[in-house]
Amino acid sequence: MQFIRFSDLCAQGKAKGQRVFIRADLNVPQDDAGHITEDTRIRASIPAIQMALDAGAAVMVTSHLGRPTEGEFKPEDSLTPVAARMGQLMNRNIRVVANWVDGDFSVAPGEVVLLENCRLNVGEKKNKPELAAKLGKLCDIFVHDAFGTAHRAEGTTYGIAETAPIACAGPLLAAEMDAIGKALAAPKRPLVAIVAGSKVSTKLTILQSLAKNVDGLIVGGGIANTFMLAAGLKIGKSLAEPDLLGEATAVIAAMKARGAEVPIPEDVVCAKAFAADAEATVKAATEVADDDLILDIGPKTAAKLAEKLKQAGTIVWNGPVGVFEFAAFENGTKVIAQAIAESSAFSIAGGGDTLAAIAKYGIEKDVGYISTGGGAFLEVLEGKTLPAFEVLARRAA
């Protein structure tokens, strides 16, 4: 992927004295009193801001927060708590600017201001041309550094990228673009993907897209149950989608035609109830009873899959393969996680439950790249070109 990197502009002295507009993702969780409960996204946004300050730029930062109504300001929609937390982390005072679209504010080189919640601006969600034109006039350089919004063509993620004099990728977005290119555009083979979750329907387009490209497709969770049904196995009262058997069969056939495979579990961990204290029983996949719930892959299956992962060149991971929140049903996900950690493959992982599993097993440093954007990451796996990637590539041409 061709795009301009903000880091290169700074290194070349091209940001000095310039007005730099950074679109960050500062959409952090807050409690009922408005206190920030988790500040990872704020911390992740600081390198781009610091880079701009160090380069001598006048820095403007904006983000969405929550789901405000355009044109209707409410105190709970304000980025003021974010500015306070960012100021603490950066050891500086950061002022918040409201009603900023027409440029009725000033910002000096070496200063950073936080522009109030961009979703309050009329025309932001639908990327209205008149808003995009105004946004482009606010800056000399637009920096997109919010991968979590890269799949949305909105005013501050897309419109401004078309109208600003220069549009580039910040360090966070550039890292995502590099990792995605390495994992999917030019992967070291074999390329193995793990796609797990409760429903085939939510991941069907991902499975169909990956079936054209990967050498091994590991399915887990409720998705694996549907594939077991497609393979003629009984799954008791496990979660599955029988109406999607045709689609599952088609994915298996598409992989087989390319000499690739979708490994079907040969043993599973069952229980009679979905509960943390339910008794776990390991069974051959051919021996699942009518009243069984499959809550994890079995140890034989886990060991075989681990072996495939250790031999892979590239691994894409989206979703735990069992109910890893329950100790009795976490072995499959734990073994998969440890195999990814031990593999010499380049690995990219994304999705909320996947990140939770990575944290639980302490393998953060052993995963090649951990993606921060849920919806954007899934759309990339679906084979879609993200609006942010498309516009930045066009502006770099």
Of 232, 246, 259, 352, the active-site residue reads 352
Q: Which residues are annotated as a binding site for substrate?
A: 25-27, 41, 64-67, 119, 152
Q: State how far the alpha carbon of 64 is from the alpha carbons of 117, 292, 344, 357, in Å.
A: 5, 45, 38, 27
Catalytic annotation, pick one of 199, 283, 300, 310? 199
Q: Is 389 exposed, middle or buried (0-12, 13-18, 19+ CB in 10 A)?
A: buried
* Catalytic annotation, pick one of 41, 85, 334, 395: 41
Residue ranges for the known binding site for (2R)-3-phosphoglycerate are 41, 119, 152
What's the first-to-final CA gap in the chain, in angstroms? 11
23 as an active site residue: the answer is: no
- In terms of Cα–Cα distance, which of 310, 229, 303 is closest to 264? 229
352 is catalytic: yes
Is 199 among the residues known to form the active site? yes
> Going by DSSP bridges, is the β-strand pair 267-271/216-220 parallel, antiparallel, or unpaired?
unpaired
Does residue 246 carry a catalytic annotation? Answer: no
Identified catalytic residue from 368, 375, 383, 384: 375
Cα dihedral 281, 286, 291, 295 sign: positive
Q: Residues annotated as binding site?
A: 25-27, 41, 64-67, 119, 152, 203, 325, 351-354
Q: Show binding-site residues for ATP.
A: 203, 325, 351-354
* Active site residue ranges: 41, 199, 352, 375
